[in-house]
Structures are given as structure tokens and as C-alpha cells.
Amino acid sequence: MGRRRSRSIVALTQALMILAVATTGLLSIATAQGAQDPADLQRGRSPRDSEIVRRFRLLDRNAIWTPVGRIRMPWKTFHTQGLVRIGDTFYVSAVDVLERSVRNGVETDALYDRSLDRSTGAGRGWLFKFTSDGTLVGRVELTDGAVYHPGGIDYDGTSIWVPVAEYRPNSRSHVYRVDPDTLTATRVFTAPDHIGGIVHDVREGTLHGVSWDSRRLYTWRLSGPGEQARVVSSDWVPNAQSYVAYQDCHYQDVGYMLCGGGGGLDLVDLRDARPTHQVSVTLVIDDTGPNAGLSITNNAFWIEPTGPHALRAYFMTERDNQADLLIYDITPWIHRSEADHPTPMPDGQ
């Protein structure tokens, strides 16, 4: 009996050791693949989170929005779409509408139905380059006949990515890579849909885009090095949320994009194309004029860390074809004491 019990204990011990080793291995694999460990879960963080993502996850309806600057543009901005900041220089995409599109009576949900419900209209598409005091220092036109509507833009560390579409859903778009120094634009591919915003996941070699009103979320896989990269596959899924129509998106490490549209900001996990954190925004650019009550998140935006725990947000939503650069510090409620001492604006802002 004693020997049998001893053998049983030894066998049980060995089994537990094997289970422990296997569990440790699985946890290591899961962590390497971006899964959260218990400590990160308790803090609401993930090993994938960049500093911007960590801070954004702390924002909710109680976040403190402090206006810290307003830069007026002494040049015509037109209808602004996407915004990036590289050093002290800003880039904004915009469309100058010369002839409005006309509805043709056809109805479409811009999701499963791909009917064309209006004419192309006419216009000119631009990418503007300006300094932190609002001085225009460069521009490039991205018009190609009926394809004249730039969308939200993003910077991948080397190039600015700009989609330019027909001004109607279910249409077509050219996707450009633009050199931020020379503003030389290179067409990478043409998509058979209206692409209203795009980000480049350099790690995975993929581009991610949003359609008209972000009804469809696209993924394109690239093949080839650097400027020789070409699209080898394309896929899309329905947007899992329908509250915010994304107008501008920016890639965030690792595997996220931060998107904005009228009424809110969403952090979207690119692995499953679903929002993982959402922040409603009730601020408006103005209470008067033709676009009274228009959300500051309606169009172009850019976000970066500032101070110990806050985010600095730049918004460029236009009213009557002219936009100012509105600058806010966003402080999580849990760090509300910092809102009394916002980070000073750099010279020129």
C-alpha cells in the first residue's frame, strides 16, 4: 500500500510539473502574441500599448479638456479632412469643391449595396504644409479628374499616406504616398471604393482604410520593400460600431488606429477591426455661422502626449471653407490635478 501511494504521489507530482511547464509556455506565447497578463489587465493596459494608447484608455466622459491655443490660417484651407504633425510642421488634406454632386434618386446603404447615388461633382484636392504659427510653406495638388476628394491622412515615419476619392460613396480612390519634405506624390494603387482615411501598419506590412462614413473597414496587404511595395490582397469587414463616422485615423503601436469623427474618438484594434476604447466628445468649434454646433472632432485631428499623463490634441474642423487649428490638453480625471498646470505651448503656437 505504501509503495503504491508513493508511486501515485510521484506520478501526480510529475503531472503537475508538466502542467506547470506547459502553462508557462502557453503564457509566454500568449504574451508574445500581444495577450494581456493579469497585472496589465488590472491596470487596464496591454503590452501592445504605446504611450498615447495608455493615456487614451484613461479618458472617459469626465476627462478635462483645457483649451491651450488657437492658430488662425491666413490662407484658404477649404474643406479640411486629415491632419498630421511632423516635428514643428503640420500637413492637412483638403478639398475645394467647385461643383456640388447631384443626387440621382438611387438609394444605397454604402455597405452591402454599391450603387452610385449621385454625380461626381467637381473640385480640387490638396495637401497643405504649414508651420506651427499658421504660415503656409508648401502644397501639392492631388486632383485626377473626378477623383479630387482627399481623406484622412497618416504618417508612417517615412511617408504621408493620402487617399483621394470621388466625392460619392461606392466610387473609387487613388492612394498616394507623399514625401513630407518635397511633397512629391506617388500613386501606390487604386481602390474600387471611396476611401475616406488610411493608416500604414509598418510592422505587419498592411494598410487599413475606412470607406464613406466608415461603413466598411478595409485591409490591404503589401508586398515588396519600401517604395516598391505593392498591394497583393484586399479585404473588408463591416464597421462594428455605427455611432462615429470616422474622418481621420492614425496608426498607434502595436496594431491599433485612433480614429475621429463627429462626436467622438475611437481606439480601433486592427486585429479584429473593433473599437477597444471610445471617448465621446461634446465640444463644438463655434456656436454661430453656417456650421453652428459642429463637433471639433468632425474632421482633421492629431494627438500626442504632453506632460506626465495628458494628451495634446489638435483639431482642424472647418466652417464655411475656413479652419483654425484648435489645440486642447486632455487630462484623465484620475490625474485632474495636472489640469491646473497645463504644459506651456512651444514658441510659435
pLDDT in tens, 305-319: 999 999 999 999 998
Examine residue 310 and state whether it is found in any structural domain, yes or no. yes
Q: Encode pLDDT of 177-225 as tens digits.
A: 999 999 999 999 999 999 999 999 999 999 999 999 999 999 999 887 7
- In the structure, what pLDDT confidence band is assigned to residue 289 with cuts at 50, 70 and 90? low
Examine residue 150 and state whether it is found in any structural domain, yes or no. yes
Which CATH number characterizes residue 191's domain?
Answer: 2.120.10
Examine residue 312 and state whether it is found in any structural domain, yes or no. yes
Domain holding 313, by residue range, is 49-340
As a whole number, mean pLDDT of residues 168-172 equals: 98
- In the structure, what pLDDT confidence band is assigned to residue 162 with cuts at 50, 70 and 90? very high
Those residues whose C-beta lies under 8 Å from the C-beta of residue 266, and which sit 6 or more positions away, are 241, 244, 246, 258, 259, 260, 275, 277, 278, 279
Examine residue 24 and state whether it is found in any structural domain, yes or no. yes
**Taking Cα atoms as reference points, which of 105, 106, 73, 107 lies closest to residue 90?**
73
Residues 12, 139 within the same domain: no
- For CA atoms 335, 86, 226, 272, give the dihedral sign: positive
Q: Name residue 206's beta-bridge partners.
A: 201, 221
Strands 248-252 and 206-211: unpaired
Most confident of 41-45, 215-219, 238-242: 215-219
What span, in angstroms and rounded, lies between the C-alpha atoms of 330 and 327?
A: 10
**Taking Cα atoms as reference points, which of 279, 348, 334, 339 lies closest to residue 307?**
339
Residue with cell 513630407: 180
Examine residue 44 and state whether it is found in any structural domain, yes or no. no
Residues 118, 199 within the same domain: yes
Examine residue 349 and state whether it is found in any structural domain, yes or no. no
Residues 10, 134 within the same domain: no
- What is the pTM assigned to this prediction? 0.84
Number of domains into which the chain is organized: 2
Residues 168, 22 within the same domain: no
Examine residue 347 and state whether it is found in any structural domain, yes or no. no
Residues 213, 320 within the same domain: yes
Residues 177, 102 within the same domain: yes
Examine residue 265 and state whether it is found in any structural domain, yes or no. yes
Q: Looking at residue 31, what is its pLDDT?
A: 36
User: What integer best gives the mean pLDDT of the chain?
Assistant: 87
Residues 20, 111 within the same domain: no
Q: How far is CA 106 from CA 102, 194, 238, in A?
A: 11, 17, 21
Residues 135, 16 within the same domain: no
Q: Name residue 304's beta-bridge partners.
A: 312
- With 0-12 / 13-18 / 19 or more C-beta atoms within 10 angstroms meaning exposed / middle / buried, residue 347 is exposed
- Asked if 183 and 140 count as a contact pair (C-beta separation under 8 A), the reply is yes
**Taking Cα atoms as reference points, which of 290, 292, 285, 295 lies closest to residue 326?**
285
